[in-house]
Amino acid sequence: MKLDKIEADGLVLLGCGKMGSAMLAGWLDDGHGGGLTPGAVWVIDPQPSDWVLSTGVHVNADLPPCPAVVLVAVKPQMMGAALPTLAALGGGETLFLSIAAGTPISAFEAALGAATPIVRAMPNTPAAIGRGITAIVGNARVTPDQLVLAEALLGAVGQVVRLEDEGQMDAVTAVSGSGPAYVFHLIETLAAAGAAEGLSPALALQLARATVAGAGALAEAADESPAQLRVNVTSPGGTTQAALGVLMDPDAGFPALLSRAVKAAADRSRELAK
């Protein structure tokens, strides 16, 4: 997709760590939904990587007077120092798009002015390989065209979904934002269990990685629900049923454990936003 408004007015990327770099790579890649020219992008980062310097984008240079988008990709603890440097761009037509976890729209409105169009987004780490999913929500100043523009930018690194209100962001954080860590821990513990049953650690890890990746791809591609896919693998009285008898225990299995884990993450997200 050719992002004509950004080509004309420019995009400012504040912070270019792992997530910012993944997005920048997607925007500059014609084959993956991007198609921006390097000259349309300004990166502000105190320690730009060699890769960022090699892309041809503007790095720590004078900013355009009224960029189409400022994408804020700094860590939440750096927000207090970073936002005031861009305050002059607030209150106008520039869209501020934040991927900073735990920072509510109200914090941006306080720093940039209530008239500033702001979209808050929560991507996840698979965005680094173009397989992320990002949830977005905008304030009252965001126009329909700006919301579409935000979707186009974030779509360069995966799927994008719209939320009904900002209050849902804590649940999104707990499910998809933190969720990759739960899956990585599943791989880790599945491999350890396989090694305990006599496999070499390397082989157990290879099996666990491929199994989780393959099952996830099947769940995404199949028409059946995850519940039906589980049934398809489970023979009555077989090995899978024996394992599921443990994992589906209502008190100590996945249902209770994941419910507690997601609630803990959502509760912490609410605390960080205060």
60: left (phi over 0), alpha (psi -120 to 50) or beta: left
Q: Which residues contact 189 (CB under 8 A, 6 or more apart)?
A: none
pLDDT tens profile 17-67: 888 998 899 888 754 445 789 999 999 999 999 999 999 999 999 999 999
pTM: 0.89
Rounded-to-integer distance, Cα 152 and Cα 149, Å: 5
113 plus 191 within the same structural domain: no
Quote the pLDDT of residue 34: 57
252 plus 121 within the same structural domain: no
Q: Which residues pair with 70 in a beta bridge?
A: 12, 96
Residue 92 three-state SS = coil
Q: Is residue 171 part of a domain?
A: no
Domain boundary pick from 166, 198, 213: 166
Split into its structural domains, the chain has a count of 2
pLDDT tens profile 153-200: 999 889 999 999 999 999 999 999 999 999 999 999 999 999 999 999
Considering the chain, what is the average pLDDT of its residues? 92
Domain of 42, in residue numbers: 4-166
144 plus 28 within the same structural domain: yes
pLDDT tens profile 215-245: 999 999 999 999 999 999 999 999 999 999 9
Q: What are the backbone dihedrals phi and psi of residue 41, each rounded to the nearest 5 degrees, phi first?
A: -120, 130
Q: Is residue 172 part of a domain?
A: no
172 half-sphere exposure, CB direction, 13 A CA radius = 24
Pick the residue with more confidence: 120 or 80? 120
Q: Is residue 150 part of a domain?
A: yes
Domain boundary pick from 127, 145, 166: 166
Task: Report DSSP state, residue 76.
Answer: G
Quote the pLDDT of residue 84: 83
CATH value at residue 239: 1.10.3730.10
CATH value at residue 63: 3.40.50.720
150 plus 229 within the same structural domain: no
